[in-house]
Amino acid sequence: MNTTDGGEKKSHRGRGAVSNRASRFLEQVVESCEDGWEAPDETAGPATRLHRDKARTVITRNVSPDVPFEQSINPYRGCQHGCSYCYARPTHAYLDLSPGLDFETEIFYKPQAAERLRAELAKPGYRPSPIALGANTDAYQPSERKLRITRAIVELLHETRHPVVIITKSDLVLRDIDLLADMARDRLAGVFLSVTTLDGELARRMEPRAAAPHRRIEAVRQLSAAGVPTGVLVAPVVPGLNDNEIEAILSAAASASAQRVGMILLRLPREVEGIFTEWLHVHYPEKAQRVLSLVRQCRGGRLYDSGFGTRMRGTGPVAELIRQRFAMATRRLGLDGQERTWDLSTVCFRAPEAQSRQMRLCFD
């Protein structure tokens, strides 16, 4: 049974969410209260627990018109980075777990992901299109250092010459630079580093277990130097909290030889609204009301608008000003006119030989 915390909210060391609010699907919740007994010290965050995920398939097909890829793979469910604003948090509710602390501590991993992917790529009717790796939860979160599930997936994509786009907040992606550089020579790979802020203190509070900002920028530099098409996503932009850094982040991206840039406005679907609001009041109480007011001004008076075409960009004068600043900075830095994705090739795809006797397939 999950719990929601009552009384004064406190941060947990190394964790993003302040509370463990219950899944929206549970009929009963438990709320804590002050009863006079001494409670244990909870300032240290709860430990991470890993669970095997027995998923039979790993490729997820996308039908959203404002998402620039048709299929994706997420080796993990839940994310240890603990980003307070993460739009993927509500997915933990389907596991009867909290989108709060459970999302960053109860991590489900797919040990047979590469094996399952091999079977899917070997199907006679499979037609390749770029796979987005880590579009929901980060494929390079801390447990990947030991589990190496993402590494196995990239090895298979390298073997089959299948195009991939990686989205991450971790410089652990540099571990796989050998494979990515080789794939890039055939237009088979691209990497986006998400950079929310250059302020180390803000990053520590908002993304407690993600790589430090300067390490992400350095990863962009090293990937670009190795010939891997690399971009930076200024995401999410939180009006009143980090929007003042748009130009600085883009400048750092240009200095690191990023070839693509993009921007996404803060999204607060379902439980994320309450989780982020709690976090904001605990860490930046003096800014909370202003930030929430500006977010509402970008969302038609609400904290979230799920409409396709507007959920990523927002509407109204505040959102328009942010877009104009982004556009002016990209023009000044020579980053304008660049799409958020690369024209990756599917020509060299070959079905896995271990599962199929098909000859090499080529598609235009």
Q: Which residues of 331-349 are buried (b: 16+ CB within 10 A; e: fewer)?
A: eebebeeeeebbebbbebb
Q: Is residue 353 part of a domain?
A: no
In a domain, 355, yes or no: no
Q: How many domains does the chain have?
A: 1
pLDDT at 23: 60
Residue 11 counted as domain residue:
yes
CA proximity to 220, closest of 165, 152, 168: 168
CATH of the domain at 245: 3.80.30.30
Note whether residue 351 is domain-resident.
no
pLDDT at 6: 44
Beta bridge partners of 190: 165
pLDDT (tens digit, 9 = 90+) per residue, 88-113? 999 999 899 999 999 999 999 999 99
138: domain range? 3-34+44-332
Predicted TM-score (pTM) of this structure: 0.85
In a domain, 352, yes or no: no
For residue 347, being part of any structural domain is answered with: no
pLDDT digits (tens, 9 = 90+) for 143-162: 999 999 999 999 999 999 99
pLDDT at position 350 is 95
* Predicted pLDDT at 39: 43
Rounded-to-integer distance, Cα 16 and Cα 98, Å: 13
Say what the pLDDT of residue 46 is: 82
Structure tokens at 351: 């079905």
Residues of the chain with pLDDT under 70: 1-45, 337-341, 354-364
Please write the tens of the pLDDT for every residue from 22-47: 665 555 444 444 434 444 444 456 88
Looking at the domain assignment, is residue 189 inside a domain? yes
Per-residue pLDDT at 308? 83
Q: How far apart are CA 203 and CA 197, in angstroms?
A: 6
Asked if the structure places residue 339 within a domain, the reply is: no
- HEC per residue, the chain: CCEECCCCCCCCECCCCCCCCCCCCCCCCEECCCCCCCCCCCCECCCCEEEECCCCCCEEECCCCCCCCCEEECCEECCCCCCCCCCCHHHHHHHCCCCCHHHHHEEEECCCHHHHHHHHHCCCCCCCCCEEECCCCCCCCCCHHHHCHHHHHHHHHHHHCCCEEEEECCHHHHHHHHHHHHHHCCCCEEEEEECCCCCHHHHHHHCCCCCCHHHHHHHHHHHHHCCCCEEEEEEEECCCCCHHHHHHHHHHHHHCCCCEEEEEECCCCCCHHHHHHHHHHHHCCCCHHHHHHHHHHHCCCCCCCCCCCCCCCCCHHHHHHHHHHHHHHHHHCCCCCCCCCCCCCCCCCCCCCCCCCCCCCCCC
58 in Cβ contact with 76 (< 8 Å): no
